[in-house]
A and B are shown apart, each in its own frame.
Chain A
Amino acid sequence: MKVALFIPCYVDQFYPQVGIATLELLTKLGVEVTYPLQQTCCGQPMANSGFAHLTPNCDSLFIKNFSDFDYIVCPSGSCTLHIKEHLHDEIRPDEALSIRKKIYELTEFLTDILKVKNLTASFPHKVGLHQSCHGQRGLHLSQMTELTAPPFSKPERLLRMVDGLQLIELDRKDECCGFGGTFCVTEEAVSVKMGKDRITDHTKHEAEFITGGDMSCLMHLEGILRRQHSHVRVKHIAEILNAQ
């Protein structure tokens, strides 16, 4: 099984520890992972701003980097979803299509492909899970509260395998945090208010850590937490699943 690691650009630049945790976790689980060195970005920031027509170069670079692998694993629901829904290439349409099918967000790869039943991780803290919208509603990593359907949650199942971790309940299980890509700067007032409210739901239930599958949401929440001088910290789910 040839597995490639896709590390989103902002994780590469600002949160290398998330990439490292992802790599270590997969290695621990017996997966041989390669990180294609020429990778940059999935193109989502441009597409979500209405500039999808500018992304063909980004798309073909992505295809060049990743088409040789059986699986592509990415520690971000949002970037995974973008590739799954929008990657295309005029010259190599089949390769684009095949990549769309073989890219996996980390927790779904662990649950659906590796079928992980237990982990050797320990994280003795109260943790709140922020379900990022693109992972949840886009990739269906967990059930959505709007639907009349049986509950499930891939990230939650994994977190419950971690020793000592206490998952807190939230009042609003799947409310958006307000990051939203360029939304976080173009609609600054609402974005920050949404983030503050998301944080209050976690602190009200005494979370010490907020975790999730998307560092972008967590970066936004972290920015607000630090401005509030809060003791609550954010940690990407890969870091917790890899914690010793």
Chain B
Amino acid sequence: MKNHPELAEQFNTDEARVNWHDETLWWVRTKRDRMSHALPEWEQLRESASQIKNNVLSNLSDYLIQFESNAKANGIIVHWAADANEHNAIVLSLLRQQGATQMVKSKSMLTEECHLNEYLEQNNIDVVDSDLGERVVQLAKEPPSHIVLPCIHKKKEEIGELFHEHLGTPKGNADPQFLTHAARLHLREKFLTRKVALTGVNFAIADTGEFVVCTNEGNADMGAHLADVHIASMGIEKIIPQRKHLGVFLRILARSATGQPVTTYSSHFKKPREGKAIHIILVDNGRSIHLGRPDFRNALKCIRCGACMNTCPVYRRSGGHSYHTAIAGPIGSILAPNLDMKKYADLPFASTLCGSCSNVCPVKIDIHDQLFKWRQVIVKEGYATSGKKVGMKVMNSVLSHPSLYRTSGKIGRWIMNHFPSVVNNKLNPWFRQREMPEPPKESFREWYQKNKKR
């Protein structure tokens, strides 16, 4: 499988597209800035959100048990899934109980993480993603490239083409309004005929057993209200202690995500209506292990707003798919190694450690510090390439011996001056698109000794 540098290089073969991708996401970042800068209490809100989440992580098992008993008292059926397989099997068994072969699903990054769609397909269940962006990537048979804007890598013309092929819209029509309308008609039929609907969960309230789902399209509500059975899948870190804490989270979520004051729909689910059922699946899938890593546990504070992706100068220029994991960007790069350190060893290195991600994060995750720490862990666990290891050892011994350092510096500069082709060649990744610095005749130290020694 290709790693981040290779996939990023592939993405960069079309520079105009990279520019467009970068500018589109930068525009979202700018909207976020405008919204957050307009609130004088913004930094306090971030701090509160962070503290509430810290409290949750420190008392997670208690809150989960509290949530379970309150949800049960409300008439919700609660399931626990240790991993992706268990989660998927629970969903399938619920579908089978209903004799359903079809399901609508609103946006849920957890189900992406669990690869639910593929699993259900293999079991002959037809899944329709009802979020517009998700539907687009589903039709294109691609994974989402962004957690909030799943088809941000697609231009409207490409979407027009997809809709022409799958929904029969006229060829060449790429008018966003027209296409949205076409998708709506197509989805309406699905909403009306599906007996089972699955949604994600943004916040689950321990104190009341309720949960909240945030969308802009109202598609979660449409699905859940029209179906007989509503399945809600949530990662166990989605708990918040009390309803009043929504006052913090609902204010920061949409502002950080898209620069809106609040999501268009923030739907509260408490108990099933007469004759209907709500199931909630609490999924661990590596989260307890993550919680046990002191340096990395607070990545579980994430509320999946996507702000760290929009601001990330690398993500904007490498595209979501270059991260080869369900959750891309900076947050994905600190979550993925917890699940599979070998497979995702490249991701913590796919960053310049510029720190912009940590600054936009509404729950104050120290994302770039964790990227640095993951690098140390990955190298120590033996997942660095061996070339790199030798190079680093040589570099270290040179840099810890002043005279060796001076000699190698001198030789290096001499070689560059006299045989520039040793460094100026295609094997040197610096030189492919950049000139090497012009080596000076003397180092600073040599100058200093000549000029300053009294």
- Contact flags A16-40 to B (C-beta < 8 A → 1, else 0): 1111100100000000000101111
> Would B317 and A193 count as touching, CB distance under 8 A?
yes
A41 to B398, CA, bound (A): 10
Provide the residues of chain A in CB contact with B356, threshold 8 Å. Answer: 133, 137, 144, 146, 174, 176
- Contact flags B338-364 to A (C-beta < 8 A → 1, else 0): 000000000011111111101110000
A193 to B17, CA, bound (A): 12
In the complex, A209 has a CB within 8 A of chain B: no
> Would A12 and B359 count as touching, CB distance under 8 A?
no
In the complex, B15 has a CB within 8 A of chain A: yes
> Would A189 and B8 count as touching, CB distance under 8 A?
yes
Closest residue on chain B to residue A7 by CB atoms:
B444
A184 to B433, CA, bound (A): 11
In the complex, A57 has a CB within 8 A of chain B: yes
With A58-B399, A175-B313 known as contacts, the answer to whether A52 contacts B376 (CB < 8 A) is yes
In the complex, A97 has a CB within 8 A of chain B: no
Closest CB in chain A relative to B403 CB, distance in Å? 9
Provide the residues of chain A in CB contact with B348, threshold 8 Å. Answer: 50
In the complex, A54 has a CB within 8 A of chain B: yes
A40 to B28, CA, bound (A): 43
Provide the residues of chain A in CB contact with B440, threshold 8 Å. Answer: 14-17
In the complex, B405 has a CB within 8 A of chain A: yes
How many residues of A are in contact with the other chain, CB < 8 A?
A: 74
- Contact flags A40-60 to B (C-beta < 8 A → 1, else 0): 110101111111111101100
- Contact flags B372-405 to A (C-beta < 8 A → 1, else 0): 1001101110001000100011011111111001
Closest CB in chain B relative to A172 CB, distance in Å? 7
> Would B376 and A53 count as touching, CB distance under 8 A?
yes
Provide the residues of chain A in CB contact with B40, threshold 8 Å. Answer: 148
In the complex, B435 has a CB within 8 A of chain A: yes
In the complex, B420 has a CB within 8 A of chain A: no
In the complex, A13 has a CB within 8 A of chain B: yes
Closest residue on chain B to residue A56 by CB atoms:
B400
In the complex, A188 has a CB within 8 A of chain B: yes
With A12-B443, A54-B396 known as contacts, the answer to whether A180 contacts B351 (CB < 8 A) is yes
With A48-B375, A193-B18 known as contacts, the answer to whether A35 contacts B359 (CB < 8 A) is no
A18 to B453, CA, bound (A): 19
A7 to B384, CA, bound (A): 30
Provide the residues of chain B in CB contact with A197, threshold 8 Å. Answer: 19, 22, 317
SS class, residues of chain A in contact with chain B: helix
Q: Which of A99-107, A120-128, A152-160, A216-224 contacts B (4 or more CB under 8 A)?
A: A216-224
> Would A183 and B33 count as touching, CB distance under 8 A?
no
Provide the residues of chain A in CB contact with B393, threshold 8 Å. Answer: 54
In the complex, A185 has a CB within 8 A of chain B: yes
> Would A50 and B384 count as touching, CB distance under 8 A?
yes
In the complex, A70 has a CB within 8 A of chain B: no
Closest CB in chain A relative to B323 CB, distance in Å? 12
Closest CB in chain A relative to B304 CB, distance in Å? 18
Provide the residues of chain B in CB contact with A192, threshold 8 Å. Answer: 432-434
CB neighbors of B among A134-181 (8 A)? 134, 137-138, 144-149, 172, 174-176, 178-181
Closest 7 interchain pairs by CB?
A180-B352, A223-B434, A57-B400, A50-B375, A50-B379, A19-B444, A146-B359
Measured CB to CB, the residues of B under 8 A from A are 4-5, 8-9, 11-12, 15, 18-19, 22, 26, 33, 36-37, 39-40, 42-43, 311, 313-314, 317-318, 348-356, 358-360, 372, 375-376, 378-380, 384, 388, 392-393, 395-402, 405, 409, 412-413, 429-430, 432-437, 439-440, 442-449, 452
Measured CB to CB, the residues of A under 8 A from B are 7, 9, 11-20, 23, 35, 37-41, 43, 45-55, 57-58, 61, 133-134, 137-138, 144-149, 172, 174-176, 178-195, 197, 219-220, 222-224, 226-227
22 A–B pairs (Cβ distance < 8 Å), ordered by A? A13-B413, A16-B440, A16-B442, A17-B440, A19-B447, A45-B395, A46-B396, A50-B380, A51-B384, A51-B392, A133-B354, A146-B311, A146-B359, A147-B43, A187-B8, A187-B314, A188-B429, A192-B434, A194-B314, A223-B435, A223-B437, A226-B434
Q: A13-B413, A19-B447, A57-B397 are in contact. List 9 more A-B contacts (CB 8 A).
A: A17-B440, A46-B399, A49-B375, A49-B388, A138-B355, A146-B33, A186-B349, A192-B433, A226-B434
